[in-house]
C-alpha cells in the first residue's frame, strides 16, 4: 500500500501521535521524500521521530532514537509483506529494555576486554556494561542517543542521513567523533548503509547495525530452520567472557562451518565448548575476502517457508553471527508476541571484536585528517 499523507495522518491519529512531512508530496515510494511522524517522548520531553520509507517493494521504518530500524517489511514468494526485524511499538521499551533491537552501534561494535585499550602509549578506560567488558560502546552507546535525521531523494533512491557527534571522553573514548550514517532504499528494494566518521584525536571506531532478522516474520518463532551460508573459512574463538583469544581458527570440522548452506539449527546443540560459552552462536567470522574497496557478497540467509532471502555484501573483514541466545521470554515485540531464545539472528558486518587489544587483527584506529568509511548492502528476494 502506498504510504501517503492521508494514511499517515490516519495512522497517527489512531495512535494518538502527530504526523508531519518534509514538505512537497508526502509519499515514501518512487523516490519521493520519506514521511516523518512523532513516535514518542523521552522522560525529559525530547521528541523521538519515526521515519517511513518505501522503495522497490521494501518498507522501512527508522527511529531518531539510536537510528533504530523499528520495522523492515519485505514480500514473500506470493508478494505478501511481513516485518522481518524484531522491535517494540513504543519508545519506553527501547529506552529501558532493548537488547539493541535494530540499533546503530558505536563507537565500538562488539566487545573490548575489560573496557581497556592503549593507543599511542596512553591507556583508556571505557564504560563497562557486559560483566567486566565493554559492549557496543558502553552504557550509553550510539544506540541510546537521539540522532539528527534528514530525509532525501536521489534519482530513484530514497533515504535518510543520520548525524551524531560523540564528544571527547564520552564513554571513555578519546576525541570528538562526528558520525554520519546514510540509509538508502534503492529502486530494487536494497537497503544500503554507508557509515562515515571523523575525529580530532586518535581513537578507535567500529560502527555496525544490530538488526534482529526473522525472515518468516517478526514473532513467528524460531529461526533454526533458516538456511545460512557464510563465505568464511575461519572464525575467532572466544573465552568464557566472549572475548577473542586471538586465534583465527578454521571452521572445518566445527559447528561454525557455514561455507556450504545449512540450517542455523543444524549444529547449534552440539556439545562444543565455544557454543557453551556463547549459549549458542555469538562469534565473529573472518571473511575470506578480507577488507575490500567495495562491498562484496559474504552471506546469504533464506527462510524456506516464505522464500524470503537476504544477501549481505560488505567491505568489512568480519561478520558477527549471533543466534538470539539471550532472548529470554521477557520482551514483547511489535506484533504482540513474546520473543524467546532463537527467535531471530543478527549478522553484523564489522571489524573483529577487541581489535584494539589484538595486534594481529585489522586495525580500528582512526586518526585526525582521515575518514572512517564502511558500506553494507542488504538485498532481498523471494
Known catalytic residues are: 210, 348
∠ CA 360-362-366, rounded to 5° = 125
| CA dist., res. 8 & res. 21, Å (int) | 9
Distance CA 349, CA 68 (A): 16
Give, in order, the Cα–Cα distances in Å from 203 to each of 175, 364, 381. 6, 8, 39
3-state helix, strand, coil split of the chain in percent (to 5) is 10, 40, 50
The answer to whether residues 150 and 161 touch, using CB atoms and an 8 Å cutoff, is: yes
The owner of cell 514521511 is 35
DSSP assignment letter at 133: B
Cβ pair 356, 366 in contact under 8 A: no
Supply 66's cell numbers. 539510536
Nearest to 106 by CA among 66, 54, 157: 66
> The C-alpha cell of 238 is what?
572466544
3-class SS at 297? strand
State the Cα–Cα distance between residues 71 and 51, nearest whole angstrom: 11
CA distance 39 to 37: 6
Longest dimension (CA), the chain: 59
- Cβ atoms within 10 A of the Cβ of 169, count? 12
Cβ–Cβ under 8 Å, residues 102 and 211: yes
What's the rounded Cα separation, in Å, for the pair 367 and 94? Answer: 33
Distances (CA, A) of 175 to 72, 197, 355: 34, 11, 18
Amino acid at each position: 500500500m502506498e504510504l501517503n499523507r492521508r494514511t499517515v495522518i490516519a495512522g497517527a491519529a489512531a495512535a494518538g501521535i502527530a504526523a508531519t512531512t518534509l514538505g512537497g508530496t508526502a509519499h515514501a515510494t518512487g523516490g519521493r521524500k520519506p514521511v516523518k511522524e512523532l513516535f514518542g517522548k523521552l522522560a525529559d520531553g525530547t521528541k523521538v521521530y519515526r521515519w517511513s520509507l518505501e522503495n522497490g517493494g521494501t518498507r522501512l521504518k527508522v527511529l531518531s532514537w539510536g537510528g533504530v530500524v523499528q520495522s523492515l517489511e519485505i514480500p514473500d514468494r506470493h508478494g505478501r509483506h511481513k516485518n522481518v526485524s524484531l522491535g517494540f511499538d513504543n519508545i519506553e521499551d527501547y529506552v529501558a529494555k532493548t537488547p539493541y533491537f535494530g540499533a546503530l552501534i558505536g563507537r565500538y561494535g562488539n566487545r573490548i576486554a575489560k573496557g581497556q585499550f592503549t593507543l599511542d602509549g596512553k591507556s583508556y578506560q571505557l564504560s563497562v556494561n557486559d560483566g567486566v567488558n565493554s559492549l557496543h560502546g558502553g552504557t550509553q552507546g550510539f544506540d541510546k542517543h537521539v540522532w539528527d535525521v534528514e530525509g532525501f531523494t536521489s534519482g530513484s533512491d530514497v533515504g535518510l542521513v543520520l548525524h551524531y557527534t560523540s564528544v571527547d571522553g564520552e564513554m571513555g573514548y578519546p576525541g570528538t567523533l562526528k558520525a554520519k550514517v546514510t540509509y538508502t532504499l534503492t529502486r530494487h528494494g536494497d537497503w544500503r548503509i554507508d557509515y562515515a566518521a571523523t575525529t580530532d584525536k586518535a581513537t578507535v571506531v567500529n560502527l555496525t547495525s544490530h538488526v534482529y532478522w526473522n525472515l518468516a516474520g517478526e514473532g513467528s518463532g524460531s529461526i533454526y530452520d533458516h538456511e545460512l551460508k557464510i563465505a568464511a573459512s575461519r572464525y575467532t574463538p572466544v573465552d568464557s567472557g566472549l572475548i577473542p583469544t586471538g586465534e583465527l581458527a578454521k571452521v572445518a570440522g566445527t559447528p561454525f562451518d557455514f561455507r556450504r548452506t545449512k540450517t542455523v539449527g543444524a549444529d547449534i546443540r552440539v556439545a562444543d565448548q565455544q557454543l557453551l560459552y556463547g549459549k549458542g552462536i555469538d562469534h565473529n567470522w573472518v571473511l575470506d575476502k578480507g577488507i575490500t574497496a567495495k562491498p562484496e557478497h559474504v552471506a546469504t540467509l533464506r527462510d524456506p517457508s516464505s522464500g524470503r532471502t537476504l544477501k549481505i555484501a560488505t567491505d568489512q573483514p568480519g561478520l558477527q553471527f549471533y543466534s538470539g541466545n539471550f532472548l529470554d521470554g521477557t520482551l514483547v515485540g511489535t506484533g504482540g508476541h513474546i520473543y524467546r531464545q532463537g527467535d531471530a539472528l543478527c549478522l553484523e558486518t564489522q571489524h573483529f571484536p577487541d581489535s584494539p587489544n589484538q595486534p594481529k587483527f585489522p586495525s580500528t584506529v582512526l586518526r585526525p585528517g582521515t575518514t572512517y568509511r564502511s558500506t553494507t548492502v542488504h538485498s532481498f528476494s523471494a
